[in-house]
Amino acid sequence: MLDKTLKLVGEFFSVFFNLIYWLWRSLWRLNRAPVAALLPGQKRAVHTIVTYGVVMLEIVGLWVAASAWAATH
């Protein structure tokens, strides 16, 4: 019984982290080109830092929106 419970918990975290990774990679790909277009002439490091910030803000925004929706329903 304990074995199956631990396996279930492990599978849950595996699916959860895979979902987060998929979301991160998707948002990264979507934001890379617009950031580069908005910052012409800047180094690639600047594009990477700005893209990182944008993706983090989008993930936090999605989390806040999901939390607000869950709180009202």
Q: pLDDT tens across 30-52, in order?
A: 999 999 999 999 999 999 999 99
**Residue 46: its pLDDT value, please?**
96
Tokens linked to 32? 């890379």
Q: What is the pTM of this model?
A: 0.77
Contact assessment for residue 53 and residue 45, using Cβ atoms and an 8 Å cutoff? no
Average model confidence (pLDDT) for the chain?
Answer: 94
Supply the DSSP string of 20-73, one letter for each residue: HHHHHHHHHHHHHHHHHHHSTT--HHHHHHHHHHHHHHHHHHHHHHHHHHHHH-
Delimit the domains of the chain by residue range. 2-72
Contact assessment for residue 53 and residue 27, using Cβ atoms and an 8 Å cutoff? no
User: How large is the average pLDDT for residues 22-35?
Assistant: 95
Q: How confident is the model at residue 2 (pLDDT cuts 50, 70, 90)?
A: confident
